[in-house]
Each structure stands twice: as C-alpha cells, then as structure tokens.
Amino acid sequence: MSDPVKISPPVSEEKTRALRAGDKVLITGVIYTARDAAHRRLIELIEQGEELPLPLEGQIVYYVGPTPASPGKATGSAGPTTSSRVDPYTPQLLAQGLRVMIGKGDRSPEVALALSEYGAVYLAAVGGAGALLARKITSGVIAAWPELGPEAIYRFEVCDFPATVVMDSAGGNLYATGRAAYKRQP
C-alpha cells in the first residue's frame, strides 16, 4: 500500500480527480459536518438562492453527529454515520463545488455519476472508531443550526484525519472490488 495522500481544503478538482479507490488520505484543515436534517436545510437555501452557513467550493463535508464535548475537550466521539441517507441531496451539493465527502457505507448510482461529473470523491472513515477520530479533531464549534443538536453543522479543525477513498471520479468503488477480491466459495 502506498503512503497516504495529504489533503487540505480548499481542495482542487485536479487533486480529487487524481485520487483512486483504495488510496489512503490524511486531512488537515477545516471541515464541516452535516447529517440529513442539515442537508435538507442546505438544499432549501440553495433552491431559494440564499447564502449558505458554510463554504462549499473545494470543501470537505463529514457525515457525523458527535457526542457532546465533555469539559475541556474539543469534541466528543466523532466517527462517521451511514452516508446513504443523504444521497438524495448530494448531487446538488457537488454541483455547488463540494469536493470531498466522508462517511461510511455505499452510495447511490446517482451519487457515483455526480462524482464523475464534478470530479469529487467519497471517503470512508472507520465506523466505530469515534473515540480515536476525536483525537484528530483539534477544535469544534457549531457553525449553524444549534437547535438541531447532534444534527447541527459543526466546524471542525482536524489534523491528519485518516480516511480511505471508497468511490472515485473514475467509477472506482473499493467496497465492490474489495468484496470481490475476498469472496470465497463457501
């Protein structure tokens, strides 16, 4: 396996187009969280032509609903949540320049197509590793919609946050190839 690719937002399309399923990535910089409820609101704002509470061009969105931070900590546990719940909203965000998404689990064919069209990538972080991933988050503040609780948009500063490319802009899908490589006749 090759060395991890280091990326920092804003990420250029050229950089994400070069990533391939199976590549390991380390992210440093500012990323934003969003779950279903936040996605719904973002799409409403886009459709009304209103200003968004976060930048999208070249940015990284992490699908996570962290636990509340205990006193003195930047965040609580913060591992990825299932991505497919936001699939219906994803192509519209990619059209606005969103370039990298972090979550877990398969995406829809529409998302796969949009990745090719806009040159974006979908990464997976290790599901169930929320305590370890929290150590890579050096600051966490709510950027929008605190009333959504764990579904609010957080602005995280991360340092060497580890993830793996699962779906790339050339149609590669690590879930499919990985499964095929290890499938056995029972």
Partner 1 sequence: MREIDSSEVTALVSRLYQEANFALPPDVIAALKSALAREESPLGREVLETLLENAAIATSDRVPLCQDTGLAVVIARIGQEACFRGGSFAEAVDAGVALAQEQGYLRASVVSSPCFDRNNTGNNAPAILHTEIVDGDEVSISVLPKGAGSENMSRLAMLKPADGISGLIDFVVETVELAGANPCPPIFLGVGVGGTMDRAALLSKVALLRPAGTPNADKRLAELENDILARVNALGIGPGGFGGTVTCLGVALEEFPCHIASLPVAVNIQCNSARRATGSL
Considering only residues 144 to 163 of the shown chain, the ones binding ligand SF4 according to CB under 6 A are none
Cα–Cα nearest to 89, from 50, 48, 37: 37
Stretch that binds partner 1, among 10-18, 69-77, 90-98, 152-160 (CB under 8 A): 69-77
Give me the residues paired with residue 103 across strands.
124
Does position 128 interact with ligand SF4 (CB under 6 A)? The reply is: yes
Does position 108 interact with partner 1 (CB under 8 A)? The reply is: no
- For residue 128, the minimal CB distance to ligand SF4 (Å) is 3
Q: Where are the alpha helices (DSSP H) in 48-151?
A: 90-95, 109-118, 130-134
Q: Where are the alpha helices (DSSP H) in 19-142?
A: 36-47, 90-95, 109-118, 130-134
Considering only residues 139 to 168 of the shown chain, the ones binding partner 1 according to CB under 8 A are 149-150, 164, 166
Any residues with CB less than 8 A from the CB of 137 and at least 6 apart, and which?
A: 74, 75, 78, 156, 157, 158, 161
49: three-class secondary structure by DSSP: coil
What number of chain residues touch ligand SF4 (CB under 6 A)? 3
DSSP state of 123: E
Does position 127 interact with ligand SF4 (CB under 6 A)? The reply is: yes
Which partner from the list partner 1, ligand SF4, none does 5 bind, CB cut-off 5 to 8 Å by kind?
A: none
Residues near partner 1 (CB under 8 A) are: 1, 22, 64-70, 73, 76-79, 81-82, 84, 104-106, 124, 126-132, 134-135, 149-150, 164, 166, 174-175, 177-186
